[in-house]
């Protein structure tokens, strides 16, 4: 059965502003949905709280860095010389 999901307007705006349809891969947003937000833009939303544009930029950058960290960890985990102890600050 097909289920319609509603997304937070700040999430839509972050994807639209970044131009990256896979900015939040952990949310499993269908590519066509995210690309639609990028192509069409997102509607203006009136909220009770002010939404700081600087915060929006930080959210995008934080998510990109998290995504990059996941890729780096996956690469390091497959390297034969990689040791988690080496990165924990412990010495053997």
Count the Cβ atoms, other than its own, within 10 Å of residue 62. 10
Q: How many domains does the chain have?
A: 1
Boundaries of domain holding 40: 19-70
The answer to whether 51 touches 10, Cβ cutoff 8 Å, is yes
In a domain, residue 3? The reply is no
In a domain, residue 66? The reply is yes
The answer to whether 37 touches 15, Cβ cutoff 8 Å, is yes
Q: Mean pLDDT throughout 39-49?
A: 79
Is the pLDDT at 91 greater than 60, yes or no? no
Which of 73, 52, 65, 53 minimizes the C-alpha distance to 20? 65
pLDDT digits 0-9 by tens, 55-72: 788 888 889 999 999 999
pLDDT-above-70 percentage for the chain:
79
Exposed / middle / buried, residue 23 (Cβ in 10 Å: 0-12, 13-18, 19+): buried
In a domain, residue 38? The reply is yes
In a domain, residue 35? The reply is yes
In a domain, residue 30? The reply is yes
pLDDT digits 0-9 by tens, 15-39: 999 999 999 999 999 999 999 999 9
């Amino acid at each position: 059965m097909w289920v319609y999901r509603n997304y937070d307007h700040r999430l839509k705006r972050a994807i639209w502003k970044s131009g990256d349809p896979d900015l939040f891969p952990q949310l499993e947003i269908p590519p066509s949905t995210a690309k639609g937000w990028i192509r069409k833009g997102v509607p203006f939303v009136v909220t009770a709280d002010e939404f700081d544009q600087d915060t929006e930029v930080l959210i995008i950058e934080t998510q990109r860095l998290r995504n990059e960290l996941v890729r780096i960890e996956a690469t390091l985990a497959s390297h034969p010389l990689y040791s988690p102890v080496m990165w924990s600050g412990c010495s053997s």
